[in-house]
């Protein structure tokens, strides 16, 4: 039971943290709604506007009973937390199953009394414990919030909401575990699982975009979670496909684990290849070569999500034009337009987060080079640490800028194809406008890399998560200005709803450059450290 114990310990720690975040998100949505829209009339207006907006329905899932705290909370939390949970689930599962295996930590254990199949089953059991902790913490907070007089929900209904909120995480823990058996490395497994998540989201989005394809919802794991409709119109029957999927997926994971060798993949992967040495002339070329598959994946994800947002922009914008409440909510985010541009200004915030994830991912990749000892092969040769780091950062900055252009072009293609009145240069500018926050976070990541290398990846992902939650929760609920200012996304103008703000963009990039310089100096002067 060593593997089960190890996996459970690490999954629990993470489950505990994310349970608090899930619960906090629900609490802030529910209590914030009650405070921001205290009267029935205000709530009716809000429901009328959002409830019929295909654009918002497509992005976050359909809204039911927005005139109630319960309906608003579910609409606000379920779509977002399903995706956040799914990302958590697939990363946790691939890291704890495949990552541990790749690092060779299972070799000793599996050479003993444990079979490969047993090891996989134990890993799944450990992940199950982590999920239980996530569910337990989320449910505790949600039930407590439900007892507040402003919210007023029975404990049973609150508990069912918690189950639904954790549904995405549970499904994608299984997807991650299964992909860990199919792929040859942790990174490849995470890429496969992210592809499944992207397809699920796209199916759900099309199903909810109001074009008569609602049945597609049953084809998507995220659609099942949405079908649960907690609080507003509970459909426990949707737990059936979720349960079946998890059982079948877990069984397939254990079965496949027994059929392959430790460290090998199920899907055939070529172990030999002719030498392609075009890029391998130095540390920067190596960075391009090793980061390329991941970066292309991010580019595809960014272009595709911008395209989808563009596709629904016209319909969403029309609804916004007739809305005063929404306009006020958006005004807090900085948007003032009342057309498709206003919607795009708001929706591109989500793409900004993805661009930021691409950026900080490059910092954690650099740290992984150091932690694994691969960096040593370069710096024991005539390569300075500063040259290595500068090369990697140049590749990362290039990847971020291209991502910005792709976001703008994607949104334009989507919006223009539906006949929305948007201009291509304005949308490309809006896409590039997503880069400064990402570059700022990247610079802060380099600072963390230089000063607290072992904690660097935790720090950068915490910064992204914090910025996202503060901006999305705080922006709609209307919270403290100082709190909002701690989010890098809040410093970004909501282009194309408003013109990109050159001053704040320069300030963001300036902070990033300064942090990167300090971090770079610290990195050059310190000891190289392992994991």
Residues that bind other proteins (CB under 8 A): 103, 105, 184-185, 263, 270-277, 280-283, 286, 289-290, 372-374, 376-384, 525-531
Q: At closest approach, how far in Å is the CB of 273 from other proteins?
A: 5
Q: Which residue has the tokens 């290039």?
A: 398
Chain centroid to CA 510: 26
Q: Is 502 exposed, middle or buried (0-12, 13-18, 19+ CB in 10 A)?
A: exposed
Q: At closest approach, how far in Å is the CB of 238 from other proteins?
A: 40
Nearer to other proteins (CB atom), residue 252 or residue 379 = 379
Q: At closest approach, how far in Å is the CB of 1 from other proteins?
A: 21
Nearer to other proteins (CB atom), residue 219 or residue 378 = 378
Q: At closest approach, how far in Å is the CB of 522 from other proteins?
A: 12
Q: Which of 407, 410, 313 is nearest to 359 (CA)?
A: 407
Nearer to other proteins (CB atom), residue 295 or residue 320 = 295
Q: Is 512 within 8 Å of 490 (Cβ atoms)?
A: no
Q: Long-range pairs for 420-427 at CB < 8 Å and ≥24 separation?
A: 420/310, 420/313, 420/314, 420/317, 420/339, 420/340, 421/339, 421/340, 422/310, 422/313, 422/340, 422/341, 422/344, 422/496, 426/341, 426/495, 426/496, 427/310, 427/344, 427/496
Nearer to other proteins (CB atom), residue 116 or residue 490 = 116
Cα 484–393–185 angle (5° rounding)? 95
Q: Which of 330, 477, 480 is nearest to 35 (CA)?
A: 477
Q: At closest approach, how far in Å is the CB of 530 from other proteins?
A: 4
Nearer to other proteins (CB atom), residue 56 or residue 192 = 192
Nearer to other proteins (CB atom), residue 9 or residue 105 = 105
Q: How far apart are CA 491 and CA 510, in angstroms?
A: 13
Q: At what angle do helices 456-477 and 340-372 cross, to 10 degrees?
A: 160
Nearer to other proteins (CB atom), residue 278 or residue 419 = 278
Q: Is 412 within 8 Å of 377 (Cβ atoms)?
A: no
Nearer to other proteins (CB atom), residue 507 or residue 522 = 522
Q: At closest approach, how far in Å is the CB of 100 from other proteins?
A: 11
Q: How far apart are CA 88 and CA 137, in angstroms?
A: 15
Q: How far apart are CA 67 and CA 152, in angstroms?
A: 14
Q: At closest approach, how far in Å is the CB of 285 from other proteins?
A: 8
Q: Which residue has the tokens 């629904």?
A: 312
Nearer to other proteins (CB atom), residue 109 or residue 426 = 109
Nearer to other proteins (CB atom), residue 237 or residue 274 = 274
Q: Long-range pairs for 132-135 at CB < 8 Å and ≥24 separation?
A: 132/15, 133/11, 133/12, 133/15, 133/16, 133/19, 134/15, 134/16, 134/18, 134/19, 134/22, 134/85, 134/166, 134/169, 135/19, 135/162, 135/163, 135/166
Q: At closest approach, how far in Å is the CB of 379 from other proteins?
A: 7
Q: At closest approach, how far in Å is the CB of 103 from other proteins?
A: 7
Q: At closest approach, how far in Å is the CB of 449 from other proteins?
A: 15
Cα distances from 427 to residues 85, 259, 335, in angstroms, run 30, 50, 15
Q: At closest approach, how far in Å is the CB of 385 from other proteins?
A: 9
Nearer to other proteins (CB atom), residue 103 or residue 213 = 103
Nearer to other proteins (CB atom), residue 233 or residue 531 = 531
Cα distances from 7 to residues 99, 113, 387, 472, in angstroms, run 11, 18, 38, 32
């Amino acid at each position: 039971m060593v593997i089960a114990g190890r996996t459970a310990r690490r999954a629990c720690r993470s489950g505990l943290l994310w349970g608090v975040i899930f619960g906090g998100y629900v609490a802030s949505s529910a209590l914030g709604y009650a405070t921001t829209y205290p009267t029935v009339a205000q709530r009716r207006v809000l429901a009328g506007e959002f409830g019929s907006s295909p654009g918002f329905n497509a992005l976050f899932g359909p809204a039911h009973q927005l005139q109630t705290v319960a309906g608003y909370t579910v609409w606000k939390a379920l779509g977002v937390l399903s995706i956040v949970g799914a990302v958590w689930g697939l990363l946790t599962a691939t890291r704890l199953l495949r990552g541990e295996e790749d690092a060779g930590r299972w070799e000793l254990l599996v050479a003993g009394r444990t079979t490969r199949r047993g090891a996989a089953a134990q890993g799944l059991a450990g992940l199950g414990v982590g999920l239980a902790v996530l569910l337990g913490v989320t449910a505790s907070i949600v039930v407590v919030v439900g007892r507040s007089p402003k919210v007023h929900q029975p404990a049973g209904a609150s508990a069912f909401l918690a189950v639904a909120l954790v549904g995405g995480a549970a499904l994608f823990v299984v997807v991650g575990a299964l992909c860990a058996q199919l792929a040859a490395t942790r990174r490849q497994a995470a890429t496969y699982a992210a592809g499944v998540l992207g397809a699920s989201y796209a199916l759900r989005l099309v199903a909810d975009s109001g074009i008569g394809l609602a049945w597609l919802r049953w084809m998507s794991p995220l659609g099942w979670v949405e079908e649960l409709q907690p609080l507003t119109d509970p459909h426990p029957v949707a737990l059936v496909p979720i349960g079946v999927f998890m059982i079948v997926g877990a069984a397939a994971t254990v079965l496949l684990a027994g059929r392959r060798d430790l460290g090998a993949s199920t899907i055939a992967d070529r172990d030999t290849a002719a030498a392609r040495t075009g890029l391998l002339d130095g540390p920067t070329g190596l960075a391009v070569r090793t980061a390329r598959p991941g970066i292309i994946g991010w580019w595809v994800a960014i272009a595709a999500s911008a395209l989808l947002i563009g596709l629904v922009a016209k319909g969403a914008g029309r609804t916004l034009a007739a809305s005063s409440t929404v306009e006020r909510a958006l005004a807090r985010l900085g948007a003032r337009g009342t057309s498709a541009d206003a919607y795009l200004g708001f929706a591109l915030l989500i793409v900004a987060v993805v661009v930021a994830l691409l950026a900080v991912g490059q910092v954690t990749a650099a740290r992984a080079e150091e932690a694994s000892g691969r960096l040593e092969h370069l710096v024991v040769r005539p390569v300075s640490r500063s040259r290595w780091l500068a090369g990697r950062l140049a590749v990362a900055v290039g990847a971020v800028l291209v991502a910005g252009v792709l976001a703008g072009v994607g949104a334009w293609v989507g919006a223009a194809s539906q006949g929305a009145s948007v201009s291509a240069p304005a949308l490309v500018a809006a896409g590039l406008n997503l880069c400064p926050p990402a570059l700022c976070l990247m610079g802060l990541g380099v600072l963390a890399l230089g000063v607290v290398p072992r904690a660097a990846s935790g720090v950068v992902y915490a910064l992204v998560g914090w910025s996202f939650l503060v901006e999305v929760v705080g922006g709609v609920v209307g919270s403290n200005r100082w709190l909002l200012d701690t989010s890098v996304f809040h410093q970004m103008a909501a282009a194309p709803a408003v013109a990109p703000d050159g001053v704040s963009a320069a300030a963001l990039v300036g902070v990033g450059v300064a942090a990167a310089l300090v971090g770079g100096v610290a990195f050059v002067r310190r000891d190289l450290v392992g994991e």
